[in-house]
Each structure stands twice: as C-alpha cells, then as structure tokens.
Structure 1
C-alpha cells in the first residue's frame, strides 16, 4: 500500500531532478554515427519498397488472415500443469512449476490499451526477440529456456523489477510520455537527464539517455534513478548494473541496426533477478513493439526538410488513432482500417527479415493456431 501511495504521488510530479549520487554508466560500445548509413550494404532508395513482390506476398497473406488472428489463448484449460493465466496487453503468461510459458499474441497495443489485432504479429515478435536474445548473450544473460512454438517462449521464473528501462537516442514520439511531447511542453530535466535547449522533433540526442518508467494505474510513470531507489523498487547496486546493461544493449542494437540500413531510435527493456541473484534480461528485445526504427539513409534529408522519418514500427498506427479519436479517454475506439493493419503486418515482417537476414515463414492455415500452440507446449513441458 505504501508503494501504491508513492506511485500516486509520483504520477503528479514525475519530472523531479535526481538528487541521488549514482555511478554514471559507461558506454562500452561506440554509438554509431548517421554517416555510417551511407556505407551500409542494406541501404537503398527505399528499403520498405525494395522488394515489391515480397511486400505484395505478405500483404495478400495478411489480408487473408485478418479474421484469423491470435487474440486470445486458454492454455490453462488445455495444457495440464499450467495455471494462473496473466493477460497482458500483448502476451498471455502461464505459470508452471519452475517456469513460465509466454504466448505472444497478435494484439496490438499503444496508449496503454489494445488497438487492434495484426496478422502474424505474435510470431514476428517472438522470433525477433529470440534472435536478439541469442545475439546479446555477451552483454547479459536472459531468461529463455526454449521456444516450442512460433508464438511461444518458455522462460525461467524470476523476480521482475517493477521498472521499464527506456533508452532513447532521438527526441521524438507522440504519446504522453514520449520525449518530444514532454520536451515540447518545456521540460528540460526528464528522469534525471538535463536536455539542451533548441532541439526539434526527431533530432538526434547528443548521447543516448535512460528514461526509466514504472507503472501506476496502468500508465507509464517517468521516474528518476533517485526515486527508483527511494521507493525501494531497486537497490543502488541493482540499478547501476541494470542501467549499464540497458545502455550497452541499446548501443549494440544501434550498431547492428545501422549495419542493416536502420536506425534504432528508442526501446525499452525489462529485467528480473533469478533465485541465485543473477540479473537477467526478460520479456522482449528490440522488437517493433518495444522499439522505434527508422530508415537510415533517408533520415538526414527528411529531417532537414522537416518531414517525418520513414518509420518501420507502429508509429503510423498511433498517429491514425490520435487523429481519429482520443485514445486515452474514449471508451470505444474506431476500428483500425484494414489497409493499415496489413501494412503494419508487412512492416513487422520487413523488420524481422532486414535485421535477421532470414525469410519469415508465413504460417499455414491447416491447423488452428490455438490447437498448434497447445500441442507444442504440452510436448515441450514434458522435457523441462
């Protein structure tokens, strides 16, 4: 109850400067420069339209699957040994003996609510995260045990830190907690970060910054490092370790993205602590749901012209809802246009294929997706 009261108070005054003396995280990886994009072998006149036949193939498959998205799961009713379903905005989490089963659905969230269901989205997010989890083991251990299904990850149980570590490289965004929104309102100290005067939307920050958030009444609440420690959400040592991991993960993600013609603009990470005290990366990594990506080689020209960057994420869907309703307050939202739903499916798959250099396997319709997931999870937990 004490923490809840603090969160309510904090939500009213989220921008206090940090007064806590913390060791400054050091960036072990060089942050890539935008000039490097010109040398990227993946850079093209327009990456999003570089392969029109593949795009048409995905759009057609998405259109045929709009009515067959994975919106709900019920593994607690079909898989013995699983219980306590927790329904998040995107993931359904089931408890086993000493593990969790995370099912990534096709639900699309923004503004702290579900907006639509996007064909193939759950598979894209799960497989994208698995790729990044493997590539970032040199930075931090993670909770992954196995992935028995395209939409499923089985993970180790851990004590989750109630803080999301948001890392930003640019001043941008459209939500209430986005950096551009608060900067445009005159805020110059955000989550303990001093922001320079004179910045404009979509401008690159002088250096990557960490802007943690915590949850209160289902909304993200920005917090400073001092507040995190003062509220008992993490110890100073835990915060120092996790904040350094987050910055290192982001710098590595930027480097890999730029090598493939993309800019990793911002993202969020979640961490937990295992029973042996090991701090692990959990949830998802550098997916188009948790991250913002732009096309690298068109950024400078579009920024100089005052145009929005070419984005490879859900920002265009966010903007559509902001234009057509009040997504924070309206009880009933308009239905997302099918062409936007299919376009988002394509962008998610495009991102997966661009980052991983592998072809996304479009799922067949021979077996209902819930039956497939139940069968694969049943078999997998027999061997845990």
Structure 2
C-alpha cells in the first residue's frame, strides 16, 4: 500500500533507503564521506498510506526537535548525530550520523494506557506480559512506566508487541536489560521535562543500535510527535481519546464523511484540504515550541 515517492538526488550522496518519512543516503565525498545522511521529509502517512499531500516544514520541525532532545539526554546515552553541516538542498532537515548495528527491537516506554497497549490490556489485563491493575481506561496513568517492546515490522506492516522474554531471546539477556533500563530512563527524563511545559508524554518509541565496540547509541529520531504521543496536560481526561500533538487531525479527517474515503476500499486517501494541512502543521509547530521554548 505504501507509495513512497522517489527520493531526490543529492549531490555527493548515494541513496540507500526510504521509509515513510525519512530518506537515508551515504555521503560519498566531502569531509563526512562514508557517513550516513538522514533526511526528514515533509511526507505524512496514515493507515499505512504515504499521502500525496505534504505538511510544510514538518521535516525541519522533526529534525530540530530530535536535536533538542538529544541534547537533553546526552548524559544518559550517546546519540548518532555527528554534524548538522549537510548539503544545502536538505539544510535544516538532515543530519550526518554514524553507522550503527541497529537492534531489531522497537524500544517502547508507556506511562499511560492507550493505543495498542489499551487493546492488549482489554483483551488480557496485560501489556507485553506485564499485568496491570483492573479498572484502567483509555488515557489512564499507569502506576509506573513500563517497557513494552515490539518487533520491527517490514515497511508497510505493523509492529507487534512482544514480551521482555522475546527481547532476551533476540538480543541476549545483558543487552535486553540495558535496553529496558535506558528506555525507561529516557522516558522518565523526557516525561518530567514535558510535564514542566504543560505536556503529557504518554508513550514513546526509541531506536537503538551499537557501535563496533559494543556501545549502545540512540539513533533515528527521538521524542517527536511521529514517534511519541504528546497530550496537552490541561485537556487530559481519562476515559476518552485525548487531543494530541500529532497527525490525529489527518486520521480524523480521512475517516470522516467529508473526505469521501472508504478505508476498506484499498485505495489511498484523497489529497488533504488546505485547512487540514495547516491545522496539522500548527500542531507539530506548537509541540516543538512548547517543548523547546524556541521559536521556529
């Protein structure tokens, strides 16, 4: 179903891979030859479709937000960014980063119950094998944050929640323990910083890899609206879906009668109306400015 546009050519770089939002290149000339160039596009995806419509400045907002968070977390875990000195064609929305051996595990921390965790809880009373108290609802705060890993699915497929034992079987007991400890430490730091700024960090997904010497490094994006659920703290009411700083506006429009789209049709959603594009951009922008205290 994914219809990812062809990645643009960048002088001095060789295209390696494209995901829903990011394009990955190898730099083949200049001071960073041999390093990776990770570019955040303005693409947006819903329900495993990459839309024809884009969200202006989204790639730059995500890149700036990740860089800000990497700085806040630097004493907890090293990150993969080497430089923001990138080709002019992608200035502001790309980083030069080191090559890592990425761990085949999505490192997820949850402090609130929603999404796939809520579905698992309603079915079993557990999330990833962790038993939770009875009576929790959509948006409930958990007694303490939990590590709820997932498998890394192929592009276009859904990640699947797995138990901690499955992580041990995949990466070994020592590495699994380290990933769990780091994930919860990162979530704890970020949740506190966000709360001070009037934002709830409900959950987040992290990507980690290893250097040749075995050092664990935080990679990809970190703590953006594309990888995390951010909710306005003053609007938080358990028992319902929470307003969020992400692409929920786009999902809601696509599922509304106004869009004329039938999700079961197999066809891609239609182009977004300008007002939906602008409202979505505004939500990403508000999240960035409230969290970082910086003007875009």
Matches within 5 A, 1:223-234: 223-230=162-169, 233-234=170-171
Partner of 2:158: 219
Q: Secondary structure at the match of 2:171?
A: coil
Structure 1 counterpart SS, 2:59: helix
Structure 1: distance between partners of 2:153 and 2:222 = 23
Structure 1 residue corresponding to 2:118, chosen from 158, 168, 180: 180
Distance of 1:169 and 1:335 partners within structure 2: 35
DSSP 3-state at the match of 1:222? coil
Q: Does 1:89 align with 2:20?
A: yes
User: Larger Rg: 1 or 2?
Assistant: 1
Partners in 2 of 1:87 and 1:323 — Cα distance? Answer: 30
Which of 228, 238, 246 is matched with 1:313 structurally?
246
Unaligned runs of 5+ in 2: 28-32, 86-90
| Bigger RCO (CA 8 Å, 6+ sep) | 1
Match of 2:281 among 331, 345, 350: 345
In structure 1, the partner of 2:30 is none
Query: Aligned pair in 2 of structure 1 residues 152, 72: CA closer, same or farther (>3 Å)?
Result: farther
Is contact 1:104–1:151 with CA below 8 Å preserved after alignment?
yes
Shift in Å at residue 224 of structure 1? 1.2
Matched, 1:74 2:8: yes
RMSD: 2.1
2:140 corresponds in structure 1 to 203
SS state of the match for residue 197, structure 1? coil
Equivalent position to 1:240, from 177, 183, 189: 177
* Length, aligned pairs only: 277
8 A Cα contact 1:128 1:352, kept in partner: yes
Secondary structure, counterpart of 1:219 in structure 2: coil
Question: Structure 1 or 2: larger helix share?
Answer: 1
> In the superposition, relative to structure 1, how do residues 328 and 204 fare at CA in structure 2: closer, same or farther (>3 Å)?
farther
Instruction: Tell me the secondary structure at the aligned position of residue 182 of structure 2.
Output: helix
Contact 1:98 1:156 in 2 (8 A): no
Q: Does 1:281 align with 2:252?
A: no
Structure 1 261/234 Cα, relative in aligned 2: closer, same or farther at 3 Å? same
CA deviation profile, 1:223-278 (whole Å, cap 9, x unmatched): 11212232xx3121111111111101011111100111111111100001011211
Gap runs ≥5 in structure 1: 1-70, 361-384
